[in-house]
Structure 1
Amino acid sequence: MADPRRTLDRTARLAELVGRLSLAEKVHLLTGETAFTLPGNDRIGLAPLAFSDGPTGVRGLKFVGGDAVALLPNATLIAGSFDDEVAAEVGRLLAEEAQRQQIHVVLGPTVNLHRSPLGGRLFEAYSEDPYLTGRTAAAYVRGMQEHGTAACLKHLVANESETLRNFMDSRVSETALRELYLLPFEMAVADAGAWSMMAAYNDVNGVPATEQDHVQNRIVKGEWDWDGLIMSDWFATKRTVASANGGLDLVMPGPDGPWGARLVAAVRAGEVPEESVDDHVLRLLRLADRVGGLTPEGQQPRRWAQDQPTVDSPVRREQLRRIAARGMTVATNNGVLPLAVDAGGAVALIGRHAIDTVDMGGGSATVNPPYRSTVAEGLSALLGDRVHVTDGVAVRARPVAADPAFLTDPVTGTPGMQVVLLAADGTELSRCHSDSSTISIGWDDEFDQDPATAVLTTTLANDAGPVLLGAIGTGDWTVAGGGAEVSARLRVAGQDPGGTMLRPPAFAGTVELPAAATVTATVALHPVDWRELLLREPSLGLAEESHLLDMTALGRTALVAAPAPRHDDELIAAAEAAAAGAGTAVVVVGLTEEDETEAADKTTLALPGRQDELVHRVAAAAGRTVVVVNAATPVLMPWLAEVDAVLVAGLPGQEGGHAVAAALTGALEPTGRLVTSWPAADGAAPAWDVVPGEDLALPYDDGTFIGHRGFHAGHAPAPLFWFGHGLGYGSWEYGTAQAHESPDGLEVTVELTNTSARDSRETVQVYLDPAEEDQPIRLVGYRGADVAAGATAAVTVTCDARLLRRWDEATGTWSPLAGGGELVVARGLGDVRARVSLA
């Protein structure tokens, strides 16, 4: 524990530095200088600070086209391990990646909950359960911050869906707010001392998250006595005075925004106390001090460690493969898994996700990895020529950017394209090579004039014949080459200004081209006047100073080019034939970055395209069928009774293909547990809707009965798979469970025997089922145990006292739950092994 006297001394020193600054200087420090950096101040020894998006990798300062960085398994795989050490290792790994790039603050973890399975951004968040989420986040934060890199808990608060995210109003009771949605933040503060948080885009009970005096000032900074910094999400700040008074400390990004001169004027007019500005600056300097960005006279600036493992080193490969496999979940298994490496017989590996494995979701969590492994690569590496790979049906509705390996820059002769940007008067602003098919325009450019036209030129690695050709990005496009041409007028849809970068419009058409055709894509860029567009809609409630009105007008731009796809009928027939000719078929299905992404929610849990039909047909033809689900969130399984095993693989990162192969063969045991209950049908969940009503309100009508809590109470039909479910490759007998008090609180001990022939890991989960009828069942503790084959171990699980309380809205205080009820010891709520009465 920190010495209180030292903390007071440090606070006094920081306050003295604040006192040296003029009002204008102080306010200048409270808005970003660029998209991902803060201004410094030499007079007080404050260095510019660098931030980076970071839930699944530290991308760096470039949104598109930055350096190669490690791509980690997604959040549901981390939480699915139910293992604090795995989460802490992820934090340490990200801290090392941050140090390598001289990043002070990593924008993660995401600790919002999986309220509705339709939420598009759930892949970034850990779980539907607040305790699992908070405990995982605390371990992640500890691992990161012990190396001097700040974590940033996001998004504060009740930010569980993406539809109209900048304008929607989460209507949530104080009880649910306290017991569920704030609990992960509280745990990461109390248990790990998180140094920063990020305020969300949405409103909460009619008040913008960036202006939440109740949440930010009263609860987080007041009741929790937290001394960290709250920054806005990018362009989330809606009003000057209300945000400055409401507890927000930092507006991002910069250099423009709703503070600056407006905030200086508000202070001078008496609308914002200067003491509030001083507190914001004090918190900023404290953050800088913690991450080595504050070096007063006579001190040396932070020295960045440069001896970190490279992103494609054997150390990173081993870490990322092991972490991914640990979080994968064996949902069903009739004995076909693990696949024997040394057995004979062909294995038919089928599916678009097998040859184009989806290793990360879409939006700000995307990074530029050094490579991405596929399931086809991984399984072939382990099983050799036994594996016969067959493509599957289409899985995307939107065109995707071209694979750079399909492109050659005609100027440099290297993979990629030649990019020229022109001003409105034809002045050439930039001419360069891009080793990607995607660029960003208007996000982090530093031109004297705005780009008006972009010209992308490349030579395709195509055979003569049909090619899919098109583009992504707002503007008037013409893509021509080899005597063929396609064109389109693309405009951003919806009212999310981030859509130009996160979900830009796209088009493509099939044309006949000669081999090795040179193609030129020209786009007259179409800036979007968000100020005029959004202020036209008074129902959105935007003020003139809203940071949304400063959003970049342009965004992500890309060339679409690929061999023309085969028809689904042909692909399904080929898959059937392959399955019939093999002893075992492994079908890889799943979602893509279209479905699991920032800035959009899903409308169904059904697999995209004809993937369900593919599984039905393969299962009918094959002797044994294994399905790998390459998705982070629930999908429907109308074919479940027809297959022999299902492995939920999540979005497994750059080593994903090798991790899936290791899990399928048992080289690494997939001992993960599901972090979200999987509904049996669309709509069959305690919470479903993600689209706000006409008043932009989204009622959180499920209250505290989120996910498995609601399923257990009968608020929805029984799920297909329960929260906490997972089989692994061991088998287990549980003895009698006993509850007892200890210095650490209420504990449960149970004898656990591994009845299988292999060493394995089990996760003992303990739930409290309260006697009070209005109280839901809830996870109160868990512990993993590695047990040798045939051995028995005593496992003790400590129940977290924060789950043994309730919020009393009448008194505005916490109170203990009434006595009685029982503790439920389980492998998941669908597999209860013991009960202990608390009567």
Structure 2
Amino acid sequence: MTSPDFSALIAGLDLETKVRLLTGATSFTLHGEDSIGLAPMAFSDGPTGVRGLKFTGGDHVALFPNATLLAGAWSEETAREVGELLAEEAERQQIHVVLGPTINLHRSALGGRLFEAYSEDPLLTGRLAAAYVQGLQGKGIGACLKHLVANESETLRNYMNSVVAEDVLREVYLLPFEIAVEESRPWSIMAAYNDVNGVAATEQDHVNNQVVKGEWGWDGLLMSDWFATKTSAPAALGGLDLVMPGPDGPWGEALVADVRSGAVDESVVDEHVQRLLLLAQRVGALGDVHRSWPTDSLAADAPERRAQLRRLATDGMVVLRNEGGVLPLAASGSVALVGRHGVDTVCMGGGSAQVNPPHQVSIADGLRAQLGELLTVVDGVEVRQSPLPAPVGTITDPETGAPGMRVEHVDADGVVMLAEHVDGAEVTTGWDDTLPRPTERLRLSARLSSAGPVRLGVKGAGSWRVGVDGTQIGQADLVPTGADPGEAMFKPPVWTADVEAPAGALVEAELTIVRSEPQPGPDGKLSTLSQILASGMGNKTLVVAPVPSPLEDTLAAVTAVARASDTAVVVVGLTPEQETEGSDKSTLALPGEQDAMVRAVAAAARRTVVVVNASTPVLMPWADEVDAILVVGLPGQEGGDAVADALLGVREPAGRLVTTWPAADAAAPAWEVEPTDLQLDYTDGSFVGYRGWFAGRADPPAYWLGAGEGYGTWEYAAASLGDVASDGSATVSVTVRNTGARDSRELVQVYLQPSEADQPVRLVGWTSVEVAAGSSATVQVATDARLWRRWDTAADRWASLAAGGELLVARGLGDIRHRLPLA
């Protein structure tokens, strides 16, 4: 195919048209331009599935295991396959660019959005990201690395300033981006919300122009995060190519005026447009013939897709404890499944990573399918501070009888602009809709599927009135808390009341949108996002939930069931209140009384297995009191079946941790996520995560990065160092023996401990190998040359590490098997 002459195409456009192309047309689409053969392009969020063009609702799409769970396989082949599957999901929905992968690091375990990102280690993150991009773009769908850069927490993300030394920025936080750019040439990158060393990420001439586009020679398109762009000329000059979303934003007439005044040279605009046209060419949206979309794509619930997602989820699960070989469970013994997360398994995190899956298999459903009558299920303690939207099956549309609710959008004159059925219990106002006028009132209605005491309520900013069968049960004026406007979307305020209601009762909730004057943020600036949220944009939800039982009754019930079974499987975890975009955690402790539940079961049961339904570290003060611990992350739509496969040994959960787990709150090299005076200092420097722990900068962790048992036991018989290359890198030969009774997969890790005191230990290579029970295998682990260097700030260039040090062959740094000195 002949490449178009971008310069000629751009020369045929006037300034206003060029600038128009550089802001989105809608929430997730770009403008086309017929005169140059440019078709509109469609973007979609994509960390755990390709959601499509609707922020809530929309078509059913596949819900993938979350990023940390997929990364737990430590497999570039897995990451590449995930990219390929996401490309198929994108093609089915005619999406040109998937907004992923997220490759920020797990600097502090409190980060609310860590579930979207791979790891605390830059090499592991970068290599997995590169493979993901290769899989996605190999099928003609654009990838988008995000978020550039130093965006490791959510608190006040629109206003805070990440302060990072240049050597740390280069060696740690830019490194995953560098690896992915070098190995996979991603077609787009997303600039973060935060400032970096006093300059907005969307205006970062140093990072965007000098490093990424200059030193790395990257030719892709740099887009803003949604509503992140704060200025016209500084952003245009700072390397930003595209403002999202649209159609409004800080460019438009302002950028045209900047060019007319000479503040921005028109050649800068032309370069942004050229990068946009190159992206369009790559995804098949430029030229006489645009890409054709397949008509035979797999449905999200097709048997083949379900099998793929089930396998991917199990492969990343991590066995942290297995005393006496309790796992895998015997298929002949009785099992008690205990806990809210077992009955209502959390399969995805909150925020823009959420999708609308065709189903979500609970652990109870997965185990029941394989154990049948051997399984007894009992609910556990309450785990949420704020109740869920009405679950599927609890409400029906009063007009159609279908599961879900009826929604009416009403304008200022009382005209119903849209009356529709919604499958779930959540709707968004002021965002990605096609209504002719703004919604002023919103009416939600549904019938209850069963009778009994029930907790009814609503979520979302505005003035609410709630009734049952025509009788008002309450009203509330709900206002978001916190300074970050993103909370209106991702952590909306809630009101509830406990009532007795018969089956078929009609629940009606009416919301009056409260519009206000936009308020400056903590930085004193009036952001685009603040202006839009002041107009009433946000998620609105109907709540229908059971009334929680007293704690003592719950503990008595779970203890009785555990005592009567051969094995008790207790499922604990976090919820989208903790693992979400828009806010961070304040503790690693499990929410509610889950610790008390585990201890009660462990004291009563013959054998206790704990399943951790969370993607990020949690505190486990009862770890030594239970027989086994299996970490299953946020396992996606097939999660329950995947967990059952792991517990019963249908497929080995041979994953390894991608983040070091602290033993206590604050016992970590980096902890704080809340900025002081809007500034967050990266005081741990390049000693992020396991690097800082190994250097003694915090009390020993509970579990190291790379830890995991699988279902084998391993002897490391020998390790030797091959020739060291001119760049300092080397290959290590390691012989491992599976001394267990089951075939298993082992992950051999190699770390470099430099001789320089100011340089931390770092992961430099790994490889996995499957070995039959009683057999041995020898593997070669190539170390990555990019980890054998340091940034010389004074000289403003890379320099080789000093000679000496040693290589550590390990199963995580808490289990070092060989030390190989370097000359």
For residues 167-206 of structure 1, what are the structure 2 equivalents within 5 Å? 167-206=159-198
Aligned equivalent of 2:263: 271
How much has 1:493 moved relative to structure 2?
Answer: 1.6
AA of the residue aligned to 1:325: T
AA of the residue aligned to 1:174: E
AA of the residue aligned to 1:780: V
| 1:723 matched to 2:732 | no
More displaced 10-residue stretch of structure 1: 305-314 or 182-191 = 305-314
CA gap 1:547/1:412 in 2 versus in 1, 3 angstroms: closer
Which of 275, 279, 290 does residue 301 from structure 1 map onto? 290
Q: Deviations over 1:264-304 (max 9, x none)?
A: 00011010111111110000000010000112xxx322111
Aligned equivalent of 1:799: 783
How much has 1:154 moved relative to structure 2?
Answer: 0.2
Aligned residues: 819
Measured in 2, the distance between the counterparts of 1:234 and 1:388 equals 46
How much has 1:340 moved relative to structure 2?
Answer: 3.7
| 1:509 matched to 2:493 | no
- Percentage of identical aligned residues: 58
Aligned equivalent of 1:478: 465
For residues 600-619 of structure 1, what are the structure 2 equivalents within 5 Å? 600-619=583-602
Do the aligned partners of 1:40 and 1:49 also contact (CA within 8 Å) in 2?
yes
For residues 542-581 of structure 1, what are the structure 2 equivalents within 5 Å? 542=525, 546=528, 548-551=530-533, 553-581=536-564
Aligned equivalent of 2:339: 351
How much has 1:768 moved relative to structure 2?
Answer: 0.1
| 1:680 matched to 2:680 | no
Do the aligned partners of 1:340 and 1:665 also contact (CA within 8 Å) in 2?
yes
Aligned equivalent of 1:758: 742
AA of the residue aligned to 1:802: R
AA of the residue aligned to 1:481: V
Do the aligned partners of 2:673 and 2:680 also contact (CA within 8 Å) in 1?
yes
For residues 386-401 of structure 1, what are the structure 2 equivalents within 5 Å? 386-401=374-389
AA of the residue aligned to 2:348: M
Which of 692, 695, 704 does residue 675 from structure 2 map onto? 692
Aligned equivalent of 1:777: 761
How much has 1:787 moved relative to structure 2?
Answer: 1.4
AA of the residue aligned to 1:13: D
Aligned equivalent of 1:364: 352
Aligned equivalent of 1:315: 304
Aligned equivalent of 1:33: 25
Do the aligned partners of 1:443 and 1:554 also contact (CA within 8 Å) in 2?
yes
Q: Secondary structure at the match of 2:247?
A: coil
How much has 1:430 moved relative to structure 2?
Answer: 1.5
AA of the residue aligned to 2:237: N
Do the aligned partners of 2:461 and 2:536 also contact (CA within 8 Å) in 1?
no
Do the aligned partners of 1:341 and 1:383 also contact (CA within 8 Å) in 2?
no
Measured in 1, the distance between the counterparts of 2:676 and 2:329 equals 53
Q: Secondary structure at the match of 2:305?
A: helix
Measured in 2, the distance between the counterparts of 1:148 and 1:68 equals 22
How much has 1:500 moved relative to structure 2?
Answer: 2.1
Aligned equivalent of 1:67: 59
Q: Secondary structure at the match of 1:43?
A: helix
| 1:590 matched to 2:573 | yes
Measured in 2, the distance between the counterparts of 1:157 and 1:553 equals 30
| 1:339 matched to 2:328 | yes
Aligned equivalent of 1:250: 242
How much has 1:15 moved relative to structure 2?
Answer: 2.1
Do the aligned partners of 1:236 and 1:548 also contact (CA within 8 Å) in 2?
no
AA of the residue aligned to 2:378: T
Do the aligned partners of 2:328 and 2:646 also contact (CA within 8 Å) in 1?
no
Q: Secondary structure at the match of 2:601?
A: helix
Aligned equivalent of 1:421: 409
Q: Which runs of 5+ in 1 are unaligned?
A: 1-5
How much has 1:335 moved relative to structure 2?
Answer: 2.6
Measured in 2, the distance between the counterparts of 1:625 and 1:244 equals 58
Q: Deviations over 1:544-599 (max 9, x none)?
A: 67565345632111111133232222111100111111111100000000000000
Measured in 2, the distance between the counterparts of 1:49 and 1:590 equals 39
AA of the residue aligned to 1:241: A
How much has 1:243 moved relative to structure 2?
Answer: 0.2
AA of the residue aligned to 1:712: F
| 1:233 matched to 2:225 | yes
RMSD between superposed Cα atoms in Å: 1.4
AA of the residue aligned to 1:835: R
Do the aligned partners of 1:211 and 1:243 also contact (CA within 8 Å) in 2?
yes
Do the aligned partners of 1:399 and 1:507 also contact (CA within 8 Å) in 2?
no
How much has 1:791 moved relative to structure 2?
Answer: 1.8
Do the aligned partners of 2:462 and 2:536 also contact (CA within 8 Å) in 1?
no
| 1:636 matched to 2:619 | yes
How much has 1:501 moved relative to structure 2?
Answer: 1.9
Q: Secondary structure at the match of 2:419?
A: strand
Measured in 2, the distance between the counterparts of 1:555 and 1:608 equals 26
Aligned equivalent of 2:637: 654
| 1:326 matched to 2:315 | yes
Q: Deviations over 1:373-393 (max 9, x none)?
A: 011011111111111101100
| 1:811 matched to 2:799 | no
Measured in 2, the distance between the counterparts of 1:546 and 1:437 equals 28
AA of the residue aligned to 1:237: T
Which of 273, 276, 280 does residue 281 from structure 1 map onto? 273
Measured in 2, the distance between the counterparts of 1:342 and 1:723 equals 32
Q: Deviations over 1:329-364 (max 9, x none)?
A: 000110343234432x32111000000000000000
CA gap 1:824/1:566 in 2 versus in 1, 3 angstroms: same
Do the aligned partners of 2:617 and 2:662 also contact (CA within 8 Å) in 1?
yes
Do the aligned partners of 2:314 and 2:651 also contact (CA within 8 Å) in 1?
yes
Measured in 2, the distance between the counterparts of 1:495 and 1:553 equals 16
How much has 1:445 moved relative to structure 2?
Answer: 2.3
| 1:836 matched to 2:823 | no
TM-score (norm 2): 0.98
Do the aligned partners of 1:528 and 1:554 also contact (CA within 8 Å) in 2?
no
Do the aligned partners of 1:467 and 1:513 also contact (CA within 8 Å) in 2?
yes
AA of the residue aligned to 2:334: A
Measured in 2, the distance between the counterparts of 1:342 and 1:395 equals 30
Aligned equivalent of 1:431: 419
Aligned equivalent of 1:109: 101
Aligned equivalent of 2:696: 714
Do the aligned partners of 2:465 and 2:472 also contact (CA within 8 Å) in 1?
no
Which of 686, 708, 727 does residue 704 from structure 1 map onto? 686
Aligned equivalent of 2:203: 211
Q: Which runs of 5+ in 2 are unaligned?
A: none
AA of the residue aligned to 2:695: A
Q: Secondary structure at the match of 2:376?
A: strand
Measured in 1, the distance between the counterparts of 2:794 and 2:255 equals 37
Q: Secondary structure at the match of 2:324?
A: coil
Aligned equivalent of 1:151: 143
CA gap 1:144/1:19 in 2 versus in 1, 3 angstroms: same
Measured in 2, the distance between the counterparts of 1:332 and 1:341 equals 17
Aligned equivalent of 1:3: none
Aligned equivalent of 1:120: 112
Which of 721, 735, 739 does residue 717 from structure 2 map onto? 735
Q: Deviations over 1:96-133 (max 9, x none)?
A: 00000000000000000000000000000000000000
How much has 1:515 moved relative to structure 2?
Answer: 2.8
AA of the residue aligned to 1:700: Y
Measured in 1, the distance between the counterparts of 2:619 and 2:303 equals 37
How much has 1:742 moved relative to structure 2?
Answer: 7.2
How much has 1:208 moved relative to structure 2?
Answer: 0.5
Q: Secondary structure at the match of 2:718?
A: coil
For residues 621-632 of structure 1, what are the structure 2 equivalents within 5 Å? 621-632=604-615
How much has 1:396 moved relative to structure 2?
Answer: 0.2
TM-score (norm 1): 0.96
Aligned equivalent of 2:772: 788
How much has 1:528 moved relative to structure 2?
Answer: 4.4
Q: Deviations over 1:588-624 (max 9, x none)?
A: 0000000000001000000000000000111001111
How much has 1:263 moved relative to structure 2?
Answer: 0.2
Measured in 1, the distance between the counterparts of 2:671 and 2:484 equals 22
Measured in 1, the distance between the counterparts of 2:563 and 2:738 equals 37
Q: Deviations over 1:175-204 (max 9, x none)?
A: 110001000000110011111000000000
Measured in 2, the distance between the counterparts of 1:528 and 1:588 equals 44
Measured in 1, the distance between the counterparts of 2:582 and 2:324 equals 41
Measured in 2, the distance between the counterparts of 1:128 and 1:419 equals 43
Measured in 2, the distance between the counterparts of 1:340 and 1:61 equals 43
Measured in 1, the distance between the counterparts of 2:16 and 2:164 equals 38
